Amino acid sequence: MSQTKETQENISRNITDSEKKISDTFDDCKDIKIQEYHYGYNLTQKAMTVHCSSLVQDQDENHLKRVLQDLVTHELGQADMISVGDIKSFFQKHGVSYYEANLLSSYDEVIDDVLSGHVVILFDQWDEALSFEAISVESRGVDEPVSESVVKGPHDGMVENLQTNLGLLRSRLRNPKFKIKSMTSGKSTKTEIAYGYLEGAVDPETLEEFEKRLEQLEDVEILETSYIEELIEDSTYSPFPQYRYTERPDVAVSALLDGKILVLVHGTGTAMICPALYLELFQSPEDYYQRTVISSMIRILRFIAVIIAVTLPSVYISLSTFHPEMIPSQLLLAVLDTREGIPFPAIIEALIMMFFFELMREAGIRLPKPVGEAVSIVGALIIGEAAIEAGIASPIMVVVVALTGVSTFTIPSYNLGISYRILQYPLMFLSASLGAYGLAIGLLLIILHLTCLRSLGQPYLSPVAPARPFQWREVFVRIPLKTLLRSPRNKHMHRVPKN
């Protein structure tokens, strides 16, 4: 918890004491600059500035000093007649100045503002300090999102600057009911966290639960939005993501209109949307920029791809090991012919090939983009062909593994795709042990887990389980926009009591 005013040390009226206190605090901090100045009659009045040179550029600092000099000269009289009492009276009465100044009364406030990119000015015989915001840190400009690129639709994405991201959202949602609240987390990082919601659309119980969990993070060092996800999620050890992410302001605004809560962290170019439901993870922003028939067919294709990604290796293993009679005769003969000479059972063969595929996928991600694309594509072709020639894997197994891997790429949510990559392995072992019966048991356990899972207290499989047919209009297909936009988009999810 932050220190209370009673425990904070107030600024001394003696500027020498203040200089010693601040110098001791920032000992061995090369980028902290402390400078003394004199003003008034015969330059007898003393003042000093403190700023962090790595956060404040020289031109900003000098501009602020000139503004202050012009201010006291033109607003208060001749420069040589100015006293600290005049300056004190002017700012305490909120005189008009080019830069808005904050009055600080404690050394802790001075230190926090200096480390936040402010120029702080202290005056002799005044127990308060003036703080001017002058932070100027280089950051990347608004550009197209990397992980959510679309053919049609807006191409601007969020950046690492929190105020810029909030401006992108506010420019699209010009409604006073769009509420934005902020907090600071961590004693060392003092990370600024902001969360927003649309009043009247968000479920009050969900918002209350979210704020209750967020309050527990005041002393936690938060560096990225995903830190918050793990700290406030309902089930830490579930492979399924309980919140979703976006780099696109249009997707974030759409989520706000749907009654979601948006979380942004300074220094992160992604926003977290909570709560997230399972079926929402299959939706892509491009679904709403294409025609209804096209978007609906693509969405159905994603559901088919998920079934392939989760079950195809397990189905092949169970059929080839336990149930060959279920394979058509000609196909069975082709499979047996391709597996002739393979020294491993189907489960070992599948594990070897999937391991190679995962290696290629990770190598393509970690390497520089031009090199990574070549490695992932060419490497997969070479290793697949080499494995067949060496007799380690059969051609049908290479097809199964490749089709399984490609199917995971069709899922819009990267985190959900990882979940299915993890679940493939226990299903494969169950199929290798019990055949189709083991696969059925594994799928049943996954469905039971999804049914019990919650996100901020809301059922993860809603509106399918619990069943709410009136909300199924946009689950499996994308309904026409003329229907979607004319009816209320948000229907509060009723909570299911926890067991």
User: Is the sign of the CA dihedral 86, 91, 93, 98 positive or negative?
Assistant: positive
**Tens-digit pLDDT profile for residues 421-447:** 999 999 999 999 999 999 999 999 999
Q: Which residue, 190, 176, 240, is CA-closest to 220?
A: 190
pLDDT of residue 204: 92
Q: Give the pLDDT band of residue 77 (cuts 50, 70, 90).
A: low
Q: Which residue, 229, 147, 155, is CA-closest to 409?
A: 147
- Between CA 415 and CA 242 the distance in angstroms is 10
pLDDT of residue 337: 78
- Between CA 373 and CA 361 the distance in angstroms is 10
| Amino acid making up residue 108 | D
Residue ranges covered by each domain of the chain: 15-133, 162-276, 293-474
pLDDT of residue 67: 56
User: Is the sign of the CA dihedral 275, 280, 283, 288 positive or negative?
Assistant: negative
- Alpha carbons within 13 angstroms on the beta-carbon side of residue 248 total 18
Residues 8, 106 contacting (CB under 8 angstroms): yes
Instruction: Record the tokens describing residue 373, joined without a space.
Output: 């694309």
pLDDT of residue 388: 80
User: Is the sign of the CA dihedral 458, 462, 467, 470 positive or negative?
Assistant: positive
**467: exposed, middle or buried (Cβ count in 10 Å: 0-12, 13-18, 19+):** exposed
Q: Which residues contact 140 (CB under 8 A, 6 or more apart)?
A: 159, 160
pLDDT of residue 492: 46
**Tens-digit pLDDT profile for residues 344-395:** 888 998 898 888 888 888 777 777 766 666 666 667 677 777 888 888 888 8
Q: Give the pLDDT band of residue 97 (cuts 50, 70, 90).
A: low
Give first-to-last CA distance, the chain, whole Å.
33
Q: Is the peptide bond before 463 cis (omega within 30 degrees of 0)?
A: yes
